[in-house]
Chains A and B, each alone.
Chain A
C-alpha cells in the first residue's frame, strides 16, 4: 500500500499558489478524521478545500510502472470513496470538471462520475456495475441509490460525504431526505467524515448541528467582500404604479442599464416574471436576439446548459433568470446584477450580488428595480439591512412524517429493514431525534396497512415483513412506482412541453405545471421558454405546441414563487416608514417616494414602530379592514385567519382574505362595524393555538398544504412519463384525498401533519405569537378611509385569496345565488 501523499501541498506549490488559512484548517481537520461545516461565499475556494482534504486523506498515488509489470493500460480507479451532494442538477457537471482537474495533474487513480435525474441510462448501467471513486449526486438520487438491494455493499468503501450549498437544503424536505440518507450511511460506517459547505446563515450553529451533530468543527472561509446595493429610480413617482409585481414600467431604465454593460444578470422572483421580462426586452430591442437569454428551472436541460455555457464564454449580454442561477458555478464575465422586485431576504440579495464583480479588486454590486412604489421604501431598507449584515436564519423542518413514510419504503427496498434497528438509526437524524414510539408505530402501520392496524385496509400492502421479520416491498410494480416518486419531493405534477411534429419527435422545451395546461384549450397562446406558443394537443403527460404569432398569450404560473419577506427585512422597512413619519427622507429612494408617503399620511397615516395602523373602508364589494403588522405574508395569513375566526365565532360570517408582506385585508360581504369590533381581546395571546387550529378547520389552508404531503407519502402518483392513458384511472387529486380522509379517517396522522406544517412553516406560529405580543405593545391607529390608500391598494387588487367561513353553506349559497340574480336582473339606480 503506497503511503499517503500531501497532494494539496504539491499541487498548490506547482502552481505557485498559497493556500488560504481556512483551506489548511479543513485539511487538518479531515486528517484528524473530523466532520464539520465550512462557511464561505461562492467563488472563495471552498470546493478545493474539501476536495484536497479528501484526496490527502483517502487517495493514494497510482503505482508507477515497474520492470516486472510494465503498465499496459490505465489502472483501475479507486472504489467509491467520496459522495458529493449538490442541491441542483445543473451544478453537477461543473463540479465534476472542477474535481477532475487535480486528478489529472497529480496522476491520482480516481474517477469522477455524475448521478442525477439527468444521467443517461447507459451511464447508470455502467455505475450499476461499479461506482466511480467520487460520485456527484443530488439528495433524491442518493436516496434512489439506497433503494438498491445491494446498497450496503456498494457503499461499503465510502469514506467521506461533502454536502455542497447546505444552506439551500437545510430548510426543506430535500434536506430531510438527506438527513435520513446520512443517518443510514453513518450507521454503516461510524467513521464516515461529513462536511457541509454553506453560505453564511443567521444561525450557523444550527446548520452544523443538523448536519454533523455535536462534535463538528467550524471553519470560516474568506469574508464577504464589499457589496454595493443601489436602486434604479423611476423618473417620477406620479406615474409609477401603486401595485403589481411585473415591473415593466421600469423597462426603459433597465434597457439603458443592460445596454451600458457588457454582461448582466436580471434576477426575477418568479418564472412567469422572467418569461414576461425576456419577451419585453426582445420586443424593445429586436437586435438583441441571440444576445440575451432566458434561464429558469422549468426549461429543458439542453436550453439551460446552452445558456450557462454561453454566459461563461462571454457570448451573452444579458440573461433573465430566477433563483435557478443563484447557486454554484461562477460566471466570471458577469459585470452587473439587477434584481427586479423585492429580493425578500438579505441573504438572498447578498448571494445574488455576489454573482457580479469577480474580478479582483472590484466590489460586488446589485441594483434593485422596484416594481411598484412601496418597493422603493423596501429598496432603501434592504440596503440598510445588507450594510448591517442582518442575515436570516434557516431552520430544519421537524419530524415530517411524509418523508419518514417515504424513507421506510425506500429502506424496505434497499435490502429490507427490521423496525428496532431502523428506529434507532432514524433517531440519529436531527429532525427525528424526538420521534415518539407512537409516531413510529403509526408510520410502520401506514406503510403496512395504509393506516392504524385497527382500521387495517384490506387489499393494501406496500411493505410487509417476510418470514424472517425483514420488512420488504413484496410487489415489483409498487417498487417501481416508489422509485419513480422518490424524485418528486419538490416538484408538482408537471407536463412536458414539446414541439408538435407529424412523426413525433419534436424538440423538448421544458415542463409546466399540469394545472396551467388544464386551463388552456387547443389554439390558445402562451408564453414559454421565451417563445410565443400555441397549444396543439395534450396527450400522455405531454403538451404539444407550435410557434404562434400575434396571439394574446397566457403566462404559465408555477407554484412556490411566493416567499415571505424575512423578519430582518420587514423590520428594516418599518424603520424606514418610521423615519419618514419623523420627516427623515435621507436616501434617493425615500426622497423620490416622499409625495406618495405624503398621500398616505393625509388619507390615513404612516405606520410607526409604536403603532399598529388599521384602515377601514366600505366599498361596493363589502366591508374591508386593512391592517399592517409588517410580519411577512405567512404570519399575516395566520393572523388574518385568527382574527377572522375570532370575529366570526359568535356571529356567523364569511371573510375573503388577502395578504402581502406589509399587511392583510379582511373583507366581508355582510356589514361589520370594524371600529367597534377591533378590541384588544381580538389580539389576545390566550388560547392562541386552539384558536388557530379552529381557524384552519374553517379555512382552506390545510388542504393546500396537504398537496405536497400527499405526493411525498405516495398517496397521489402523477404517472409514468408516456404511460398509456388507462393509468389515469388511478389518479385522484390530493384535494379529493383530503376530503375523504377528513370524513372517514379524521385521526390520520398525515392530516395532523398537514395541520402542523401549516402551523410551523406556513403560518409560523412562533413568529405569529411574537407578532401578537408586539402588537399588544403598540397603540391601534385606526382610520376610516374614503378610498384605498397607497398601502391598501395592493391588497385590494390582490387576486390570490383565502377564505374563512363560519356561516352555514346553505346561507352562503343563497346569498351568492341572489347576488347572481341581482347582477342578471335589470339595472336598478340607487
Chain B
C-alpha cells in the first residue's frame, strides 16, 4: 500500500496523496481542491435532509494530512464553501475550532465559482483569499482548468473520476488525478461531492485513488 505516489511534473516533484490532495515537498505546501464545506448545511436549509458528519469528516482528514506531511501552507484550489447558505453557525464554528488548532499554518483560498456565490470565508478564519491564477514554482494554481500560456496549471472544479475495467466484466469507478500536458486536475476533496467521469485523452496519465492508496491506471 502506498499512501502517496511521487511524480515529476513540469520539472518539480509532487506527491499525489491517496486522500485526494497534493503535497508539494519543495514548498512544503498542501493543495486541496473542491472541499465544498457547508454543502450539507445548504441542502438542509432548502429542505433536503442530509445527515451530519461530512464537515467533521473533512476536518479530520485535513488534520491527518497535516500531521503526516510537513506543511507550512495549505492552499485551497477553489470551492471552499459551497453556497451562501453554507455560512451556517454549526459549520463555521467547527471550521473555526479546527483553524485555531493550526494557528501557525498559512491558508490561502483561490476563489472558485462556488466561492464567488457563497462569499468569502469570515476573516476570523484568517485565510488569504486570491483570484486565480496563483503562481507557485512551475505551476499556476487555479480553480478552473483553463490552460495558462507559460505555466502548468493545477486545478480543481471538474471532480474527475475514472472507470476501470477488468477481466470478468468487472468495473470500478474511482476518483482520480488527471494529468495532461498543460493542465492537471485534482480529485474533489469534500466528503459530500460527486464525480464526473473522464475519458482518457492522448498523452495523459490517470492516477486513481481507493482504499488508502494511489494507483497509476496505465
Tell me the A residues contacting B by CB distance below 8 Å: 446, 449-451, 455, 457-462, 475, 477-478, 481, 620-622, 654-656, 667-670, 714-717, 726, 729-730, 732-733, 735-737, 740-741, 743-745, 748, 801, 803, 808-810, 812-817, 819-821, 824
Complex interface: chain A residues within 8 A of B54 (CB): 740, 744
Q: Which residue of B lies closest to A810 (CB)?
A: B211
Q: Is B166 an interface residue (CB 8 A)?
A: yes
Q: Which residue of B lies closest to A812 (CB)?
A: B172
Q: Which residue of B lies closest to A460 (CB)?
A: B44
In angstroms, Cα B192 to Cα A733, docked, is 11
**The 3 residue pairs across chains A and B that have the minimum distance between CB atoms:** A669-B168, A450-B49, A745-B51
Q: Interface segment, B83-91, B127-135, B143-151? A: B83-91
Residue from A460, A801, A815 having most chain B Cβ neighbours under 10 A: A460
Q: Which residue of B lies closest to A653 (CB)?
A: B168
Q: Across the interface, do A654 and B117 meet the contact criterion of CB distance under 8 Å?
A: no
Q: Is B15 an interface residue (CB 8 A)?
A: no
Choose among A462, A621, A736, A810 the residue that contacts B167 (Cβ–Cβ < 8 A): A621
Residue from B1, B48, B164 having most chain A Cβ neighbours under 10 A: B48
Q: Is B40 an interface residue (CB 8 A)?
A: yes
Choose among A457, A716, A732 the residue that contacts B192 (Cβ–Cβ < 8 A): A732
Choose among A715, A803, A813, A824 the residue that contacts B208 (Cβ–Cβ < 8 A): A813
> What are 19 A-B pairs at a CB distance below 8 A?
A450-B49, A450-B50, A455-B51, A457-B52, A459-B44, A459-B45, A459-B88, A620-B167, A656-B170, A715-B48, A716-B48, A730-B42, A730-B83, A743-B191, A744-B51, A745-B53, A810-B213, A812-B166, A819-B165
Q: Which residue of B lies closest to A798 (CB)?
A: B169
Q: Across the interface, do A810 and B1 meet the contact criterion of CB distance under 8 Å?
A: yes
In angstroms, Cα B217 to Cα A813, docked, is 9
Q: Which residue of B lies closest to A729 (CB)?
A: B83
**8 A Cβ contacts from B147-206 to A:** 164-172, 174, 191-194
Q: Across the interface, do A814 and B215 meet the contact criterion of CB distance under 8 Å?
A: yes
Given the contacts A459-B45, A460-B49, A816 and B165 also touching, CB distance less than 8 Å: yes
Minimum Cβ distance to chain B for residue A654 (Å) = 6
Given the contacts A669-B168, A669-B170, A820-B164, A813 and B44 also touching, CB distance less than 8 Å: no
Minimum Cβ distance to chain B for residue A175 (Å) = 26
Q: Across the interface, do A715 and B218 meet the contact criterion of CB distance under 8 Å?
A: no
In angstroms, Cα B217 to Cα A819, docked, is 10
Q: Which residue of B lies closest to A732 (CB)?
A: B194
Residue from B54, B57, B89, B211 having most chain A Cβ neighbours under 10 A: B211
Q: Across the interface, do B117 and A741 meet the contact criterion of CB distance under 8 Å?
A: no
Q: Which residue of B lies closest to A624 (CB)?
A: B168
Q: Across the interface, do A813 and B172 meet the contact criterion of CB distance under 8 Å?
A: yes
Q: Across the interface, do A654 and B47 meet the contact criterion of CB distance under 8 Å?
A: no
Complex interface: chain B residues within 8 A of A459 (CB): 41, 44-45, 85, 88, 90
In angstroms, Cα B85 to Cα A820, docked, is 44
* Residue interface bits B8-31, CB-to-A below 8 A is 1, else 0: 000000000000000000000000
Complex interface: chain B residues within 8 A of A735 (CB): 194
Q: Is B82 an interface residue (CB 8 A)?
A: yes
In angstroms, Cα B192 to Cα A65, docked, is 71
Q: Is B210 an interface residue (CB 8 A)?
A: yes
Q: Across the interface, do B211 and A808 meet the contact criterion of CB distance under 8 Å?
A: yes
Query: Interface range on chain B: under 10, 10 to 19, 20 to 34, or 35 or more?
Result: 35 or more
With A461-B47, A669-B167, A744-B57 known, 12 other A-B pairs at CB within 8 A are A451-B49, A459-B44, A621-B167, A656-B170, A669-B166, A730-B42, A732-B192, A732-B194, A733-B194, A810-B210, A812-B166, A816-B170
Minimum Cβ distance to chain B for residue A212 (Å) = 36
Complex interface: chain B residues within 8 A of A821 (CB): 218
Q: Across the interface, do B43 and A732 meet the contact criterion of CB distance under 8 Å?
A: yes
Minimum Cβ distance to chain B for residue A697 (Å) = 17
In angstroms, Cα B1 to Cα A813, docked, is 12
Q: Across the interface, do A475 and B47 meet the contact criterion of CB distance under 8 Å?
A: yes
Q: Which residue of A lies closest to B169 (CB)?
A: A656
Minimum Cβ distance to chain B for residue A21 (Å) = 54
Q: Which residue of A lies closest to B84 (CB)?
A: A729
Q: Across the interface, do B192 and A460 meet the contact criterion of CB distance under 8 Å?
A: no
In angstroms, Cα B47 to Cα A457, docked, is 10
Residue from B43, B45, B49, B172 having most chain A Cβ neighbours under 10 A: B49
Complex interface: chain B residues within 8 A of A654 (CB): 168, 170
Query: Is chain B's binding surface mostly helix, strand, loop or mixed?
Result: mixed
Q: Which residue of A lies closest to B173 (CB)?
A: A735
Choose among B43, B49, B167 the residue that contacts A819 (Cβ–Cβ < 8 A): B167
In angstroms, Cα B161 to Cα A735, docked, is 14
Complex interface: chain A residues within 8 A of B90 (CB): 458-459
* Residue interface bits B73-110, CB-to-A below 8 A is 1, else 0: 00000000011010011100000000000000000000
Minimum Cβ distance to chain B for residue A611 (Å) = 28
Given the contacts A801-B169, A824-B218, A729 and B82 also touching, CB distance less than 8 Å: yes
In angstroms, Cα B88 to Cα A459, docked, is 8
Complex interface: chain B residues within 8 A of A446 (CB): 49
Minimum Cβ distance to chain A for residue B172 (Å) = 6
Complex interface: chain A residues within 8 A of B215 (CB): 813-814, 817
In angstroms, Cα B191 to Cα A726, docked, is 22
In angstroms, Cα B107 to Cα A658, docked, is 50
Complex interface: chain B residues within 8 A of A451 (CB): 49, 51
Q: Which residue of A lies closest to B114 (CB)?
A: A729
Q: Across the interface, do B164 and A813 meet the contact criterion of CB distance under 8 Å?
A: yes
Q: Across the interface, do A820 and B218 meet the contact criterion of CB distance under 8 Å?
A: yes
Q: Across the interface, do A741 and B172 meet the contact criterion of CB distance under 8 Å?
A: no
Minimum Cβ distance to chain B for residue A644 (Å) = 12
Minimum Cβ distance to chain A for residue B8 (Å) = 20
Q: Across the interface, do B52 and A817 meet the contact criterion of CB distance under 8 Å?
A: no
Minimum Cβ distance to chain B for residue A139 (Å) = 23
Q: Is B212 an interface residue (CB 8 A)?
A: yes
In angstroms, Cα B47 to Cα A462, docked, is 5
Complex interface: chain B residues within 8 A of A620 (CB): 167
Choose among A458, A622, A817, A819 the residue that contacts B44 (Cβ–Cβ < 8 A): A458
Q: Is B72 an interface residue (CB 8 A)?
A: no
Complex interface: chain B residues within 8 A of A814 (CB): 215
Q: Across the interface, do B114 and A715 meet the contact criterion of CB distance under 8 Å?
A: no
Q: Is B46 an interface residue (CB 8 A)?
A: yes
Minimum Cβ distance to chain A for residue B132 (Å) = 19
Complex interface: chain A residues within 8 A of B70 (CB): none
Q: Is B63 an interface residue (CB 8 A)?
A: no
Q: Across the interface, do B168 and A667 meet the contact criterion of CB distance under 8 Å?
A: yes
In angstroms, Cα B50 to Cα A744, docked, is 9
Complex interface: chain A residues within 8 A of B41 (CB): 458-459
In angstroms, Cα B167 to Cα A669, docked, is 6
Complex interface: chain A residues within 8 A of B210 (CB): 809-810, 813
Complex interface: chain A residues within 8 A of B194 (CB): 732-733, 735-736
Complex interface: chain A residues within 8 A of B47 (CB): 460-462, 475, 478, 481, 714
Minimum Cβ distance to chain B for residue A664 (Å) = 14
In angstroms, Cα B90 to Cα A743, docked, is 20
Complex interface: chain A residues within 8 A of B191 (CB): 740, 743
Complex interface: chain B residues within 8 A of A741 (CB): 51
* Residue interface bits B110-145, CB-to-A below 8 A is 1, else 0: 000010010000000000000000000000000000
In angstroms, Cα B210 to Cα A494, docked, is 32
Complex interface: chain A residues within 8 A of B82 (CB): 729
In angstroms, Cα B51 to Cα A748, docked, is 9
In angstroms, Cα B213 to Cα A384, docked, is 59
In angstroms, Cα B88 to Cα A786, docked, is 64
Minimum Cβ distance to chain A for residue B90 (Å) = 6
Complex interface: chain B residues within 8 A of A729 (CB): 82-83, 114, 117
In angstroms, Cα B20 to Cα A509, docked, is 43
